[in-house]
Amino acid sequence: MEAVKTQDVGVNDLPWKIEYQADRCTMCGSCVAACSFKAIKVVTQGRSLTVSEGSQPEPKHTHVARPIIKQVASLTDFCRGCGMCEKICPNNAIRPVRNPDTRKALLSKDNGPIKRGGRTNLNAQRTLDSIVVGRISQMTDPSLDAARHTFDIRSPFGRVLSAKELPFELKDGKLVQASHTPPVDWIYPLIFSDMSIGALSTRAWEAVAMAVGYLNEKCGLPVRMSSGEGGMPVKLLESDYLKYFIIQIASGHFGWNRIIKAMPHMVTDPAGILIKIGQGAKPGDGGLLPEAKVAEHVQAIRGVPKATLASPPNHQGLYSIEESVQKMHLSMNAAFGFRVPVGIKCAASATSVSVYNNLLRDPYKICGGFFLDGIQGGTGAANEVSLDHTGHPVVSKIRDCYNAAVKQGLQGQIPLYGGGGIGMTGDAAADAFKMMCLGANGVFVGKVLIQLLGCVGNEHGRCNACNTGKCPMGICTQDPRLVKRLDIDRGAQKIVDYVLAFDTELKKLMAPIGNSSLPIGRSDALVSTDKAVAEKLGIQYVC
């Protein structure tokens, strides 16, 4: 054997191996056509057979060349385990199998750090899983009927002034408003997190947007959706549906030229502005849209050429909280006539409480929401080392921020929203309820939405190829051939059904503790089976 062959990449070095049964295969070619990663191919295999067909032994030697399916041994075109081949094969002749002996992480750094999408692979254990609702109203005080009672499931988005700060005065025996108050909207405590046009396919983004419109118009649930970095279509900016969208401005400022030009033609104000400082999946790192996903419509919306779009790690010129308040928050409020709440999104970290404290003390009362994103949040593209080894769980930071506000008597003035792994087990309502009991006013979800659309990526290394532009489900790709795989109407319906179930489940958890409104800060309703978690969060430990 030549020495060089020993260093070539083999199938055993890859994270997934293709299990193929040639005797079942009819060579229809469906699996090869469906594989967006080109991880399998048709090759010819020679077979030598010696058979005897007569009544007397008369062995005959024959040579047969037959087509078979073979896995590609490559670190670029390798199997991601999406299972599309297995799903489409009419004869159950092929399927991906996880390879525990993979060496890919070691071998694939010849061209620099590994990039991928999805969630962290190393931090799947969640704090929320060790917390349960432990206080049930029985003989102490009445529980509520989840099916018949009226519940007030609304959260504020905007700066909430204390009673002493409200600018009201008596004139001629009447209470009149003396000056302007910060805008506050009451929304549903489940926000669809920022996923841009570019990160998602046009069909996927449209499916999520359709679900938002239906939930607001037909179901009476004021769900809001963040646009993500990169702008929005002009038709949407100039439509009445803009009132359901939170426009995000991130450090790259992509798409904002078009948004500014559309302002004079907007028939309604947006639901809010979200200034993204950082995200939990890759804290301290800017956004990244690989060149493969910068299609023509993305170039038009963002005003850029076809190239990899990397956002800076911070907003240029904003190097302190004070500067952020004066420049970014004040300018964004002024741009919309102080009618639109402006929030800020940060990655959960050891500095989160310091940021929140400074925003609470802001004399302008500008900040209308503090969005904290934890390490288990998803991303469309990031360096794997950032995804797996940086960040902070969101639960304890939400609790720390809430407690810091309580100590100052300022709780509830800047609404807290938490995200990052919410709904990872499929039960987003339970996660949201626990987060609210710990101090959050609501939660934001992203990965759950694309899973409802059909995403098969998980925290154990399946698929997570959002960054390649080859998403086999047509969700995180701009390839027209792949995008057609996604059914917009069915995807929107799945999201609507999930949110309606979320609403019912949230009531099922509020009723037993006797709450008809959201249980913000009701940590007495929670217990933990983990002593360290109980001590950190200040809740009861049970065993």
Instruction: Name 343's bridge partners.
Output: 274, 369
Our measurement of the distance from residue 498's CA atom to the centroid of its chain's CA atoms, rounded to an integer in Å, reads 15
CA–CA distance, 328 with 307 (Å, rounded to integer): 27
Q: For residue 179, how many C-alpha atoms fall within 13 Å in the half-sphere facing its CB?
A: 5
Mean per-residue pLDDT, 437-450? 97
Model pLDDT, residue 4: 63
H-state helical runs in 416-479:
428-437, 447-453
Model pLDDT, residue 205: 96
Which residue from 239, 193, 233 is spatially nearest to 379, judged by alpha carbons? 193
CA distances from 253 to 16, 41, 235, 325, 481 (A): 39, 42, 20, 17, 30
Mean per-residue pLDDT, 470-486? 96
CA–CA distance, 487 with 480 (Å, rounded to integer): 13
Our measurement of the distance from residue 82's CA atom to the centroid of its chain's CA atoms, rounded to an integer in Å, reads 19
Q: 471 labelled as ligand-binding?
A: no
Mean per-residue pLDDT, 28-46? 95
Residue recorded with tokens 């800047």 = 414
Task: Give the three-state DSSP class for 368.
Answer: strand
CA–CA distance, 441 with 435 (Å, rounded to integer): 8
Domains of the chain listed by start with CATH number: 11-110 (3.30.70.20), 183-541 (3.20.20.70)
H-state helical runs in 218-265:
234-237, 256-262
Residues comprising the chain, all counted: 543
**Between these two residues, 169 and 244, which has the higher pLDDT value?**
244
Q: 463 labelled as ligand-binding?
A: no
Tokens of 150: 């009226």
Question: How far apart are the two ends of the chain, measured CA to CA in Å?
Answer: 61
CA–CA distance, 227 with 196 (Å, rounded to integer): 6
- Which value, to the nearest 10 degrees, does the dihedral of the CA atoms of residues 83, 85, 91, 94 take? -80
Whether 1 shows a pLDDT value over 60: the answer reads no
Task: Give the three-state DSSP class for 61.
Answer: strand
Q: Do residues 288 and 308 make contact, with C-beta atoms less than 8 angstroms apart?
A: yes
pLDDT band, very low/low/confident/very high, at 326 (cuts 50, 70, 90)? confident
Mean per-residue pLDDT, 177-183? 89
Residue type, 487: D
CA–CA distance, 79 with 465 (Å, rounded to integer): 10
Q: 437 labelled as ligand-binding?
A: no
Residue recorded with tokens 């260093």 = 7
Whether 328 shows a pLDDT value over 90: the answer reads no
Whether 397 shows a pLDDT value over 80: the answer reads yes
Q: Do residues 123 and 376 make contact, with C-beta atoms less than 8 angstroms apart?
A: yes
Residue type, 409: G
What is the model's pTM?
Answer: 0.94
Model pLDDT, residue 3: 63
Task: Give the three-state DSSP class for 335.
Answer: helix
Mean per-residue pLDDT, 117-135? 90
Q: What does the pLDDT look like over 372-393, one tens digit per residue? A: 999 999 999 999 999 999 999 9
Q: For residue 193, how many C-alpha atoms fall within 13 Å in the half-sphere facing its CB?
A: 30
Instruction: For the chain, give the percent of residues with pLDDT over 70.
Output: 99
Range from 36-45, 88-97, 169-178, 440-449 carrying the lowest mean pLDDT = 169-178
Model pLDDT, residue 119: 92
Q: 219 labelled as ligand-binding?
A: no
Model pLDDT, residue 2: 60
Tokens of 428: 């987003």
Which residue from 326, 408, 360, 333 is spatially nearest to 180, judged by alpha carbons? 333
CA–CA distance, 118 with 483 (Å, rounded to integer): 19
| Helices 202-217 & 488-510 angle (0-180, nearest 10) | 50
Which residue from 431, 494, 505 is spatially nearest to 208, judged by alpha carbons? 494
Task: Give the three-state DSSP class for 379.
Answer: strand
DSSP for 281-298, written as a single string: TSTT---EE-GGG--HHH
Q: What does the pLDDT look like over 141-155, one tens digit per residue? A: 788 999 999 999 999
Q: Do residues 133 and 120 make contact, with C-beta atoms less than 8 angstroms apart?
A: no
Count CB atoms within 10 A of the CB of residue 146.
Answer: 16
Q: For residue 328, how many C-alpha atoms fall within 13 Å in the half-sphere facing its CB?
A: 29
Q: 466 labelled as ligand-binding?
A: no
Q: What does the pLDDT look like over 211-242, one tens digit per residue? A: 999 999 999 999 999 999 999 999 999 999 99
